[in-house]
Amino acid sequence: MKEINNQAEDLTVWLNTSAIVDLGPIIAGVQVFGPETRQAFQRDLLAWYDQEKRDLPWRENQDPYRVWVSEIMLQQTQVDTVINYFNNFMKVFPTIADLAQATEADLLKVWQGLGYYSRVRNMQAAARDIMANHEGVFPTEIKAIKALKGIGPYTAGAIASIAFNQAVPAIDGNAMRVLARLFAIDADIAVAKNRKIFEEIGSYLIDYNRPGDFNQAIMDLGSSYCSYKNPQPELSPIRAYNLSTLNGTTLAYPVKSKQKKARDVYYQALLIENQQGQILMIKRSDGQLLKNMWSVPLLESRRDQVTDYQYVVAETSANYQVSPIVMKEPLAEIKHIFTHLKWHIRPFYMRLRPEEEALLAKQLDKAYGNSWCWLAASDMDQLPVARVQEKIWQVYRDFKKQ
């Protein structure tokens, strides 16, 4: 006998105080309302959506390319952040063919600052797949959509429903929060297998006439009346159906177990300046975080809180066979937080001796081939760099201004 997730005593609220007129099936252990109420729920939700939906650039039409680009950008990224990136991306790569032909540097440049850079690399792989195997036309079958690189269950559902009017759910963190509150579901949304519960419920709830709008309405709800921190469930268009609202337990849902803390990593950044006032930049290699983006050399400290000027001098000499004039103290202490790492960076400014510049170039050619260069502060927009690199360069520019 399968345990019912939401409690029977809670459910009576539905029948006593709200618009629920029929109890429906138990789906993946969750008691939901029946088909009649479902119809009213869809009607109220979509009526609200028609009046209040956000005006977003990717909602201009149902072009699958635009929907696709927006969905990839929106993975783990907030709407406000995405809007400008989206408009620029469509300008630079107006078609799937343009995306397929781009250089990696151009891809990274367009994505610079958005994070999770494999998203855009995967998108190009998918674009090339579409050109080679789908005659340049975005596939319509959900299995084919999900087979594209970078497209998982959520994004496949979003594209299939929004661009192609297919009645499939699109379950992301937003949707899980909305549904968990709607039915008072106790399942831990951090546990991967529990996503299936929400997919089944989403499949049950979805409006077959307007699946794309239905899924987007859930998202808009999740960013407004059903937001994580400051929800206003009593004003929500679905308040009459919402079990946690009726029980006053909104903030108890969704249940989510904690993730681990980011690990501290300590670096010294080498700001090596040549005679022209340029700084040494190196392209990060394939195996590294932020791969193929450009960075000043980073030394990983062997112990926490290393400020040791002598360590910097020794490592610079060992790595590059030169002995620049190094400032005794770091210019700053920069913190940069990734999901799983917390970088602490101390930038050291050093000036190369004139007679050693040619020697250094030779060493760099040997060690890095084409993957290094001298860069003036004013030319930083020429190379793809991650945000942490901009922070380091800001410290450098501030120092030079003094």
Partner DNA sequence: AATCCGGGGCC
Partner DNA sequence: GGCCCAGGATT
Query: CB of 258: closest distance to DNA in angstroms?
Result: 4
Q: Which helix (H) or strand (E) holds 339?
A: none
| Tokens at 290, concatenated | 């932020």
Q: What is the CA radius of gyration of the chain?
A: 26
- Residue 237 near residue 47, CB atoms below 8 Å: yes
Which of the residues 130 through 149 are near DNA (CB under 7 A)? 149
CB of 120 or CB of 306, closer to DNA: 120
H-helix or E-strand spanning residue 346: strand 341-351
* Binding segment (CB under 7 A) for DNA, from list 16-24, 39-47, 84-92, 386-394: 386-394
Cβ nearer to DNA, comparing 189 with 279: 189
Q: How far apart are the C-alpha atoms of 371 and 339, rounded to whole Å?
A: 27
Nearer to DNA, 38 or 391 (CB): 391
**206-265 positions binding DNA, by CB under 7 A:** 216, 219-220, 222-223, 228-230, 256, 258-261
> Which residues 189-208 are close enough to bind DNA by CB under 7 A?
191-193
- Our CB check for DNA shows the closer of 128 and 256 to be 256
Query: Which pair of tokens denotes residue 171?
Result: 């379950």
DSSP-derived pairing of the beta strands 298-300 and 334-337: unpaired
Question: Which span sits near DNA by CB under 7 A: 75-83, 305-313, 324-332, 346-354?
Answer: 75-83
Rounded Cα distance between 299 and 190, Å, is 35
Contact 51, 279 (CB under 8 A): no
CA distance 386 to 131: 30
Which range touches DNA (CB under 7 A), out of 27-35, 242-250, 303-311, 335-343? 335-343
CA distance 401 to 229: 42
d(CA 306, CA 329): 11
Interface pick for DNA out of 101, 122, 307, 363 (rule CB under 7 A): 122
Do 67 and 159 touch, CB atoms closer than 8 A? yes
Written as six digits, the tokens of 145 are 């959509």
Cα 277 to Cα 284: distance, rounded to the nearest angstrom: 22
- Judged by CB under 7 A, the stretch of 40-48, 53-61, 231-239, 355-363 that binds DNA is 53-61
Nearer to DNA, 113 or 277 (CB): 113
Q: Spot the catalytic one: 71, 199, 273, 315.
A: 71
| Token code pair at residue 226 | 């059903």
Return phi, psi of residue 280, to 5°.
-70, 130
> Least separation, in Å, of the C-beta of 184 and DNA?
17
Task: Report whether 69 contacts 107 (CB < 8 A).
Answer: no
CB of 401 to DNA, least distance (A): 22
Closest residue by Cα to residue 199 from 212, 189, 186:
189
CA distance 329 to 308: 8
* Cβ–Cβ < 8 Å for 141, 157: no
Q: How far is the CB of 400 from DNA (least distance, A)?
A: 22
Q: Does the annotation count 71 as an active-site position?
A: yes
Q: Which is nearer to DNA, 323 or 339 (CB)?
A: 339
- The least distance separating DNA from the CB of residue 55, rounded to whole angstroms, comes to 11
Distance separating alpha carbons of residues 98 and 78, to the nearest angstrom: 26
- Decide whether 79 or 240 has the Cβ nearer to DNA: 79
Number of residues that bind DNA (CB under 7 A): 62
When asked if residue 153 is in the footprint of DNA (CB under 7 A), the reply is: yes
Q: How far is the CB of 3 from DNA (least distance, A)?
A: 17
Exactly one of 100, 185, 187, 386 binds DNA (CB under 7 A); that residue is 386
**One residue of 204, 309, 311, 338 binding DNA per CB under 7 A:** 338
Options 137, 325, 341, 376; binder of DNA; rule CB under 7 A: 341
Rounded to a whole number of angstroms, the minimum distance from the CB of residue 350 to DNA is 24
Q: Which residues are catalytic?
A: 71
Residues lying near DNA in the complex (CB under 7 A) are found at 54, 56, 58-59, 70-71, 74-81, 113-118, 122, 149-156, 158, 172-174, 177, 191-193, 216, 219-220, 222-223, 228-230, 256, 258-261, 289-291, 336-341, 386-388
